[in-house]
A = this chain, B = another copy of it.
Amino acid sequence: MANMKLMYSPTSPYVRKVMVVALETGLDKKIDKLPAATTPVAPNPQVVARNPLAKVPSLQAEGMTLYDSPVICEYLDTKHRGKKLFPAKGKARFNALRQQALGDGLLDAALLVRYELTLRDEPMRSQAWHDAQMLKIGNALDQMEKEAGTLRGAPTIGHVTFGCALGYLDFRFADMGWRKKHKKLAAWYEKFAQRPSMKATVPPT
């Protein structure tokens, strides 16, 4: 099989999910990374050509172009013979998929805050919108804290997404000090962040 091609940005937490999955499953050497910076208001034509939604990551493989990150991660998980990150069925599967949606939802809210602060001149910023997104982040963290004790055993896509979401808060929202009120989650993350897949994908400062 020809190498897969990944539209890649080292600062995108959704790209990080894909790379963590690739590293955990030994598929990273079969993926060529195509660097592609993009923003909502200045979409990169190279990115749009592969994903009409103008977002990274997208993955070209077997004549398909796949997006978004949950689809790419599940696809990669079918292409190796090791321990699966997506449980095959039943409650284990749907709990992992729900955790992925929770971590991705935290990230969606965090990105909307970033766009509010970086893509709009000050008079066009809405405090109510900003606060609503920050509340989602806080509520998501509270839920993740409740689940921290269950994050045991071999990592699932839920664990990977929690890890990338928390890594993004450290990267872009360091001031919010999420660890203070989420001590079990912080203890879990401290260990999870030591995995080689996580250490190899820390966003550049």
Which A positions have Cβ atoms within 8 angstroms of B? 40-41, 43, 48, 52-55, 62, 64-68, 70-71, 74-75, 78, 89, 91, 94-95, 97-98, 101-102, 105-106, 108-109, 115, 119-120, 123-126, 128-129, 132-133, 135-136, 139-140, 142-143
Find out whether the CB atom of B67 lies under 8 angstroms from the CB atom of A140.
no
Docked-complex contact B101 and A71, CB < 8 angstroms:
yes
Q: Across the interface, which residues of B come within 8 angstroms of A125, CB to CB?
A: 124
User: Which B-chain residue is minimally distant from A133 (CB atoms)?
Assistant: B40
Q: Could you say which of B52, B105, B126 contacts A102, with CB atoms under 8 Å apart? A: B52
Given contacts A53-B109, A124-B125, contact A40 B132 (CB under 8 A): yes
Copies of this chain, complex-wide, total 2
29 contacts between A and B (CB under 8 A): A40-B129, A40-B133, A41-B132, A43-B132, A43-B135, A52-B105, A52-B136, A52-B140, A52-B143, A53-B106, A53-B139, A55-B105, A64-B91, A64-B94, A64-B98, A66-B97, A70-B70, A70-B97, A70-B101, A71-B94, A71-B98, A78-B89, A115-B129, A119-B128, A119-B129, A120-B129, A123-B124, A124-B124, A124-B126
CA distance A75 to B53 in the complex (A): 26
- Complex: how many Å from CA A44 to CA B5? 42
Query: Distance (Å) between the CB of A23 and the closest chain B CB?
Result: 21
Nearest opposing residue in chain B for A144, CB measure = B52
A-B pairs with lowest CB-CB distance, top 7: A52-B139, A53-B105, A52-B143, A71-B97, A68-B101, A52-B140, A41-B132
- Can you add 16 more A-B contacts, CB < 8 Å, to A53-B109, A123-B123? A41-B129, A52-B136, A52-B143, A53-B108, A53-B136, A54-B136, A64-B94, A64-B95, A66-B94, A70-B101, A71-B94, A119-B126, A119-B129, A120-B126, A120-B129, A124-B125
How many angstroms between the C-alpha atoms of A120 and B116 in the bound complex?
Answer: 13
C-alpha spacing A68/B143, complex, angstroms:
15
CB distance from A183 to the nearest CB of B (A): 18
